[in-house]
Amino acid sequence: MDDSDEDQRLPHHREPKEYISLDKLAELGVLSWRLDADNYENDEELKKIREEQGYSYMDFCEVCPEKLPNYEEKIKNFFEEHLHTDEEIRYCVAGSGYFDVRDHNDKWIRVWVKKGGMIVLPAGIYHRFTLDTDNYIKAMRLFVGDPIWTPYNRPHDHLPARKEYIKNFLREEGGGQAVDAAA
């Protein structure tokens, strides 16, 4: 994505526009699925993913000015670069938003998650979230065991989750494009 300070809810494409594949995101540990958001209650693929990954906890979060208490403060906090010591799993059942993650060269990649998109950010990856210009997302939050939502704002490279992430996913390779991934 570009380095502009414009409204965080804009796409922030580089010029010319560049995209990366889901395989490149997977190299960073970011996993994704396209599911049937209109049928999430009975979706066999979602059930299979939850069983395989051990996602036992589930709830919903609606992010918009009308539904989220302390909206302005929360959206600012979501956009602060941070990591978690556990995976962050979000399944967009309505609306859309952007997850920004760092590539191998510490540049931002913007991932546009829309209705039906499920994304898993690995423990230890620096990231941030913002809505797009529609200002609305309803996301299913999944977790292994009891949820721990603690964000650790950058820098927190000393945490074991960060060290493990670096060991498993960040290696000196070429490429490292900072691009939008609107897949």
Q: Is 13 annotated as a binding residue?
A: no
Q: Is 84 annotated as a binding residue?
A: yes
DSSP annotation string for the chain:
-----S-TTS----SS--B--HHHHHHTT-EEEE--GGGTTT-HHHHHHHHHHT--EEEEEEESTTTSTTHHHHHHHHTS-EE-SS-EEEEEEEEEEEEEEE-TTS-EEEEEEETTEEEEEPTT--EEEEE-TT--EEEEEEESSS-----EESP-TTSHHHHHHHHHH----S-----EE--
Q: Is 104 annotated as a binding residue?
A: no
Q: Is 88 annotated as a binding residue?
A: yes
Residues annotated in the binding site, as ranges?
82, 84, 88, 127
Binding site residue list for Fe(2+): 82, 84, 88, 127
Annotated binding site for Ni(2+): 82, 84, 88, 127
